[in-house]
Amino acid sequence: MAVKGSSLGLAAVAEALGSSEQALRLIVSILMGYPFALFQRCFLFQKEVYLIHLYNTLTGLSIAYFNFGAQFFHSLLCVLIQFLILRLMGRTVTAVCTTFCFQMTYLMAGYYFTATEHYDIKWTMPHCVLTLKLIGLAIDYYDGGQVVEVLTPEQQRFAVRGVPTLLEVSGFSYFYGAFMVGPQFSMTDYQKLARGEMTDVPSQRPNSFVPALKRLTLGLIFLVIYTLLSPYVSDEYFLSDKFLEQSFWFRCFYMLVWGKVVLYKYVTCWLVTEGVCILIGLGYNGQDENGKPKWDACANMKVWLYETTPLFTGTIASFNINTNAWVARYIFKRLKFLGNKLLSQALALFFLAIWHGLHSGYLVCFQMELLIVIVEKQVVSLVRNSPALSTLASITVLKPVFYVLQQTNHWMFMGYSLVSFCLFTWDKWLKVYSSNACATERKAKESRVTARRLYRVCICHRGVWSPCLPSLLC
């Protein structure tokens, strides 16, 4: 429930833009990160850390209240309980397990009691981001109590050695640049930010205006593209009789284009919020081999790779990077004791599915992702190990043709798996999938019939007939 005071004006603006009021509030909220970041740069850089924690807490809470009204108490309650878990249970496995169970149960309960058949922007949207943040904090706090020798270099980097205060945990949780849609970042990076250490020039404000402006501009470009194209490729069209009456190849092409466009709304939000993180310094990631500062610590998108990769694994590596890195760090790698990489990967994807929501479509989508990745790796391995196929793939003239075919196949399967992700409930995504399956079967039957007829014509023309050969085509 949003704040009602400004609801009338925002509703009118949203209607004029052809958007929902909640979507407009979301865009306003992530754009407000820029003036918030400018204020912090100008007046709070290297000030007392408690002032920075207080500022981040108040701005984050104001964003939560602006979007969801009194329902902001859900996040506040979970932050307070998380602080108590850290203080009362300490650096123990019990604290980690309690955190995981409580935070995930609270999120699942939120999904259950607010569930609808459509995607709604409600308090559970930022809460799923907060859930990962608090679980990661508990694990890093546990690692901070272990001897260095038993930790991996990655775990050593993120381990929280000190005891966070309530204000510190609140500032970390409500940081305005990542509260609504991410990205994920660690408590250790946040502590460096509060101390003024996330900068390319020691003891000075980061030179991050230009990198931040580039990400903001890129995000706005994707916003314009999505705004212009989304009315022509809607989710609702999948369920219409008109879609079911279309040809098989039209439906495949529609899924391809729709899948490409529908993801741009996520790309927009992540690029804009990344710009906020860069502007304040949280995006600083050291220097490259040439001594130039890198600002990709909070990058959730590798735009060039995302737009050009012909592989499904390339899309995974370039899309929602920080969330994928979080799952790899805190779920996948922590399941190493199972001794089975495929099982660990399946459990990590299962966690991602239920973290997104309780609808069956999420489970189906991530199951498809796992299967597609497995098949893709096998195909790539087959081509590399086959001299004939490797030679064919290396022919310069044919490379553009292969690239177009790969991209088409890649985005068709991407759109196909996203159908269940976006339609949520089994009755909706099953209707779309079953219609395509029936169309595929009809096409296959038609192809077999045509092949048999052509075969008979060829055999009869030669004056030869073998009754066993045509059966191979049945």
Q: DSSP for 306-319, please give it.
A: HHH--SHHHHHHHB
pLDDT at 472: 34
Q: What is the pLDDT of residue 452?
A: 58
Give me the DSSP letters along 15-39: HHHT--HHHHHHHHHHHTHHHHHHH
Answer yes or no: do 102 and 177 share one domain: yes
Q: Cα–Cα distance between 82 and 190 in angstroms, integer?
A: 17
Q: Burial-class residue 365 by CB neighbours within 10 Å (0-12, 13-18, 19+).
A: buried
Residues 113 and 214 in one domain: no
User: In the block, which residue shows the tokens 């008979």?
Assistant: 456
Q: Clarify whether residues 174 and 32 are in a common domain.
A: yes
Residue 260 tokens, joined: 């490409």
pLDDT at 252: 92
Is 224 contained in some domain? yes
Residue 198 in contact with residue 175, Cβ under 8 Å?
Answer: no
- Whether residue 44 is contained in a domain is answered as yes
User: Is 315 domain-assigned?
Assistant: no
Per-residue pLDDT tens listing for the chain (474 residues): 666 555 668 888 888 887 889 999 999 999 999 999 999 999 999 999 999 999 999 999 999 999 999 999 999 999 999 999 999 999 999 999 999 999 999 999 999 999 887 888 999 999 999 999 999 999 999 999 999 999 999 999 999 999 999 999 999 999 999 999 999 999 999 999 999 999 999 999 999 999 999 999 999 999 999 999 999 999 999 999 999 899 999 999 999 999 999 999 999 999 999 999 999 999 999 999 999 999 999 999 999 999 999 999 999 999 999 999 999 999 999 999 999 999 999 999 999 999 999 999 999 999 999 999 999 999 999 999 999 999 998 999 999 999 999 999 999 999 999 999 999 899 999 999 988 765 555 555 555 555 555 545 445 444 444 443 333 333
Q: Which residues contact 346 (CB under 8 A, 6 or more apart)?
A: 370
| pLDDT number for residue 14 | 85
Q: What are phi and psi of 301, to 5 degrees?
A: -140, 135
Looking at the fold, whether 146 and 59 belong to one and the same domain comes out as yes
Is the pTM here over 0.85, yes or no? yes
Q: Bridge partners of 63?
A: none
Q: Report CA-CA distances (Å) from 72 to 60, 178, 225.
A: 10, 16, 32
Q: What amino acid is encoded at 155 in this protein? A: Q
pLDDT at position 167: 98
Answer yes or no: is 105 within a domain. yes
Same-domain pairing of 145 and 233: no
The residues carrying an active-site annotation are 320, 356
Q: Are residues 156 and 205 in the same domain?
A: no
Q: Which two tokens stand for residue 277?
A: 């993180």
- Write phi, then psi, for 287 (nearest 5 degrees): -125, 155
Give yes or no: residues 174 and 291 share one domain: no
Find the helix packing angle between 166-174 and 49-68, rounded to 10°: 50
Domains identified in the chain, total number:
2
Q: Is residue 71 situated within a structural domain?
A: yes
Q: Which amino acid is located at 369 in the chain?
A: E
Cα 101 to Cα 78: distance, rounded to the nearest angstrom? 12
Q: Give me 463's structure tokens.
A: 């004056």
Whether 308 is covered by a domain: the verdict is: no
Is 334 among the domain residues?
Answer: no
Separation CA 329–CA 344 (nearest Å)? 12
Asked whether 439 and 251 are in contact (CB, 8 A), the reply is yes
* pLDDT at residue 463, rounded to an integer: 47
The two tokens of residue 180 are 């609504």
Q: Which of 179, 197, 215 is the last residue of a domain?
A: 197
| 160 and 217 together in one domain | no
Same-domain check for residues 210 and 187: no
In a domain, 413, yes or no: no
* DSSP structure string for 51-81: HHHHHHHHHHHHHHHHHHGGGGHHHHHHHHH
Q: Can you give the residue range of the structural domain that contains 266?
A: 201-243+257-301
Cα–Cα distance for residue pair 224/269, rounded to 1 Å:
12
Residues 193 and 229 both lie in one domain: no
Are residues 95 and 38 part of one domain?
yes
Helix (H/G/I), strand (E/B), else coil: 389: helix
Strand (E) or helix (H) holding 412 = helix 399-423
Question: What is the residue whose two structure tokens read 């060829």?
Answer: 458
52 and 133 both lie in a single domain:
yes
DSSP 236-294: GGGGSHHHHHS-HHHHHHHHHHHHHHHTHHHHHHHHHHHHHHHHHTTT---B-TTS-B-
